[in-house]
Amino acid sequence: MEKLICFQIENTREIERLASNMKIRVIKADASMYNEMLDNIVNGKISSVNGSFSTSISPAVTDNKLPADSILIFCDLSEKHLTRMLFELKSRKVQIDLKAILTPTNRRWTLRHLHDELERERSSIFINNKIQ
């Protein structure tokens, strides 16, 4: 099933509207999910997603330890839906700092690990662009 994970995105209304038109489910990840594995978040295996208790509830994360970056994760989207979603987000000027696609490798990462990796990639791109 196609899903989007939204983290630290202030106004998800436009994303939800676009997703609804494409029958894509939107999961709003909050601070309590920052140390959860992406696979658990996308499959609803934590209490914040499905209302039941999980065997692996992460330690609480306070807001002052959270990144300021907004993150949008595309989970199992068809190429057509991914292309359309990216186009619509850009044309509607929806501000999202970091975007990622859920992969077999990163689905075992925590949201924190994904954020750290995206930050490293962004820094690397910035440094490479400055050198050229």
Give tens-digit pLDDT for 70-118.
999 999 999 999 999 999 999 999 999 999 999 999 999 999 999 999 9
CB of 114 closer than 8 Å to CB of 98: no
The count of domains in the chain is: 1
- The pTM score is 0.82
Q: What is the pLDDT of residues 21-31, one digit of tens each?
A: 999 999 999 99
Please state whether beta strands 71-75 and 3-7 pair in parallel, antiparallel, or not at all (unpaired): antiparallel
Positive or negative CA dihedral for 44, 9, 110, 99? positive
Domain that holds residue 40: 3-131
Q: Give the chain's mean pLDDT.
A: 86
